[in-house]
Structure 1
């Protein structure tokens, strides 16, 4: 497996099937141009077709410094339970350390056992339950 940062909209468009919805070229360009936005792609050694991704966003606050928010992790069904997700999370954590982030966090549904197992296997510690509230601004 090979993991590398996404650097072009074409790479993000090729990863389209891994995302929740259709990838739009203008959003891909905007994501890549935004400071503090990161996305790693995982590839099978013999292929240029992405089999997984992880995205993260640096968040900074005046009294806390910078931490990495793991925004989303996706792995093709055919490549789950082979360490792809863990390797992607570890790549994002390594980048966060490199950038001087004091920590990294992710929100997970408490019933998503696969995600919980992946994050725990990559070294995450459970901080307990929390509520997520959402504003639909469309």
Structure 2
């Protein structure tokens, strides 16, 4: 397994099978250009097998933390430690960037995600409610 930071929009569009929807080149470019945004892609035999995205968040009284925004492993490559490796790679990058911590929101019934994050050393910080504001028409 080879984990590399995506630096060009073409890398994201080539890995779009790992996303919920096809990657749009203009959004890929915007993501990669934004300070604090990070996408790591795991390759197996030269093929994108998984990805993790992270976003740095800074607050005046807390400093900077990393939000694990999304993790995905291609169905054909699951249960091989790729998700764990990507999570740990993002945590290492967060440390290198000076982040004081890393967090992820996960559905409490998503057993695969919970097992992955637990195996990568995540600590259960309790149940929380999430609210959203759909802004797009």
Per the alignment, residue 32 of structure 2 pairs with: 32
Partner of residue 116 from structure 1, selected from 102, 114, 117: 114
Can you list the C-alpha shifts for 1:56-77, whole angstroms capped at 9, x where unaligned? Answer: 0000000000000000000000
Deviation at 1:128, TM superposition (A): 1.1
d(CA) in 2 for partners of 1:36 and 1:78?
30
Q: Gaps spanning 5+ residues in structure 1: where?
A: none
Which whole-Å CA distance do the structure 2 matches of 1:100 and 1:32 have between them? 19
1:54 — aligned with what? 52
Quote the RMSD (CA, aligned, Å). 0.5
Partner Cα distance (1:117, 1:80) in 2: 13
Match of 1:131 among 86, 104, 129: 129
Aligned residue for 2:72, secondary structure, equals strand
Matched residue SS, 2:71: strand
* Normalised TM-score (structure 2): 0.98
Cα distance in structure 1, aligned partners of 2:114 and 2:120: 10
Indicate the SS of the match to 2:121.
coil
C-alpha offsets along residues 108-134 of structure 1, whole Å, 9 cap, x if unaligned? 000000000000000000011100000
Alpha-carbon distance in structure 2 between the residues aligned to 1:20 and 1:132: 20
Match of 2:102 in 1: 104
The number of aligned residues is 136
TM-score, normalised with respect to structure 1: 0.97
Gaps of 5+ in 2: none
> 1:94 maps to what in 2?
92
